[in-house]
Homo-oligomer: A and B are copies of this chain.
Amino acid sequence: MFNSSILLKEYNLKVTPQRVAIVDELYKNGHMNVDDLYKNLLEKFPSISLATIYKNINAMVEKIFLNEVKIPETKSVYELIKEEHSHLVCSSCGKIEDIMIDTSVLQSSLLKQSSFKVQSSEVIFTGVCENCQNC
């Protein structure tokens, strides 16, 4: 079972209701941008401040259990770090899906032409999701 308090403790962050809520939201929704996070949290914490969201996101990114995903044509979203995966972004509804794809083939072909030493890779597909194809 997923437990945000334990996660926060593991990364030496004090467990506050706001932080728990941020992590829970991200766990529930997969990816969110700052504004969506803010809007959702306002329901539970009518006086939460954007500054709190920014400070916490930054802290979590620094502790490396949150990841910023920069998506073409849109605002960045944040996600909890898990196994490496790629992203599908629907250009029609904006939905973002995770997908497991083996990207090591790319690195092999990269090795053949360059001596660049890869540390990480980021793959984003833009297109039309299943739902939007039926409209």
Contacts and interface: CB of A to CB of B under 8 A. Distances in A.
Interface string A12-30: 0000000000000000000
A51 interface: no
Contact of A88 (B91, B103, B105, B114): B114
A55 B78 CA distance: 29
Interface in A85-135: 86, 88, 90-91, 97, 99-103, 105-107, 109-110, 113-130, 133
Counting contact residues on chain A (CB < 8 A from B), the size range is 35 or more
Q: Which are the 4 A-B pairs with shortest beta-carbon distances?
A: A70-B70, A118-B127, A119-B127, A117-B128
23 contacts: A70-B71, A70-B72, A88-B110, A99-B113, A99-B116, A101-B106, A101-B109, A103-B106, A105-B105, A105-B106, A106-B106, A115-B130, A116-B128, A116-B129, A116-B130, A119-B127, A120-B126, A121-B123, A121-B124, A121-B125, A122-B122, A122-B123, A122-B126
